[in-house]
Amino acid sequence: MGTQKFDERPFSRVVVTGGCGFLGSHLVESLVDEGCEVLAIDNFATGLRSTADLLADLKSVRVAEHDICENWNASSEVRDFFKKPVSHIFHFASPASPTKYTELPLETMWANSVGLGKALDFATSLGSRLIFSSSSEVYGFAPPPHAESAMGVANCFGPRACYVEGKRFGEALVYSYNQKYGASHGVVRIFNTYGPRMSPDDGRVVLNLGRRAIKGESLQINGDGNQTRSFCYVEDLNRGLLAYAARMICHPLNLGNDRQISINELALKIRRMVGNLKLPIEHLPSVQDEPIHRQPDLEQSLKLLQPWRPSVELDEGLKLTLEWIRSNYVSLSAEETIAKVPVAAI
């Protein structure tokens, strides 16, 4: 079968909502590398001000502190930026980790509905292409590997529903704008992504395990640890995002890495990498509605986003992430000798 061709939409001036978050800030940097002028809109619900400072140092980036659920025209930075054409809007504003979205359930639902609606209004009326950051969570309890054609089965009345249903509603909203206005907005279904700049308190497993291991604390795992995830290094995700956004693909595509690992194996690997085989592994109660397995079926993405494919090995990505955790989030005391052991990629 030949490669399907799509029209291309070159990047020029780009808006990233949630641009001071983990994924948003890496995306902003990649867009700058592509020669773009970028506006990052963020209200710091979960993003870090230190990330905003880092971005503000980049020549062609502006940061607007604004809640995307409020009137966008109320922000002079946002108003000014939209005076000239904007090629793309990446809608990344939303709490993303279970810890954060269960703390901020309504904010999560509004960001993926009201906030997304405002972004779609701007994009549609100004001819920008919007990319919505959806999630593997839309597949709910469906068995892996998750192909885009799977409908997903999810609990709409539970602690994770604000996020799962927020993303499902968001996808439907993008579809409806495309139908009603003949627009070409798109949806990416992102699977677990990790890397430097994850927020220290948002409870994501790589950061949690890495931080505790470096500090010499027990490694905490929810449930029996046999649940599996497929971890994608942020650099790989970014390349996929740019490939998707540049091509006028409108249907959802999975983005991530399809290599699965159990959380128990991940903990053992991190323990070896920080050089402390004696660290205890502690099992905490399992989390309600947590999916057992997550693994993207990448067949469509590999075909349509050629030559994209995830290429950073887990050991390499973890090494970079652990080094970053060590230098950013772990203050060393004389007793914390373990933190002085160099991170080995194994």
Ligand X SMILES: NC(=O)c1ccc[n+]([C@@H]2O[C@H](COP(=O)([O-])OP(=O)(O)OC[C@H]3O[C@@H](n4cnc5c(N)ncnc54)[C@H](O)[C@@H]3O)[C@@H](O)[C@H]2O)c1
- Cβ-based neighbour number of residue 7 at 10 Å: 9
Which is closer to ligand X, CB of 147 or CB of 338?
A: 147
Percentages of the chain per state (helix, strand, coil), in multiples of 5:
40, 15, 40
Which is closer to ligand X, CB of 131 or CB of 183?
A: 131
Which is closer to ligand X, CB of 93 or CB of 279?
A: 93
What is the footprint of ligand X within residues 157-196 (CB under 6 A)? 190, 192-193
> What is residue 97's three-state secondary structure?
coil
Q: Provide, rounded to whole angstroms, the least separation between the CB of residue 157 and ligand X.
A: 20
**Residue whose token pair is 């090995």:** 313
Q: Which two tokens stand for residue 253?
A: 């595509």
Residues 6+ apart with CB under 8 A from 318: 206, 210, 269, 270, 273, 345
- Position among 133, 227, 254, 295 found at the interface with ligand X (CB under 6 A): 133
- Position among 46, 75, 227, 264 found at the interface with ligand X (CB under 6 A): 46
Interface with ligand X, residue 43, by CB under 6 A: yes
- Residue 207 one-letter amino acid: L
- Position among 124, 135, 238, 254 found at the interface with ligand X (CB under 6 A): 135
Can you say whether the dihedral through the CA atoms of 256, 258, 263, 269 is positive or negative? negative
SS (HEC) of 224-264: CCCCEEECEEHHHHHHHHHHHHHECCCCCEEECCCCEEEHH
- Position among 15, 55, 96, 162 found at the interface with ligand X (CB under 6 A): 96
Return the active site residues.
163
What is the footprint of ligand X within residues 5-34 (CB under 6 A)? 17-18, 20-24
Tell me how many residues contact ligand X (CB under 6 A).
31
- Position among 87, 94, 184, 300 found at the interface with ligand X (CB under 6 A): 94
Q: Provide, rounded to whole angstroms, the least separation between the CB of residue 260 and ligand X.
A: 15
Q: Provide, rounded to whole angstroms, the least separation between the CB of residue 135 and ligand X.
A: 4
**What are 247's strand-pairing partners?**
8
Exposure string for 68-92, b = 16+ CB within 10 A, e = fewer? bbeebeebeebeebbeeebbbbbbb
Q: Provide, rounded to whole angstroms, the least separation between the CB of residue 294 and ligand X.
A: 10
Which is closer to ligand X, CB of 44 or CB of 181?
A: 44
| Site residues for ligand X per CB under 6 A | 17-18, 20-24, 41-47, 67-69, 92-96, 107, 111, 115, 133, 135, 190, 192-193, 199
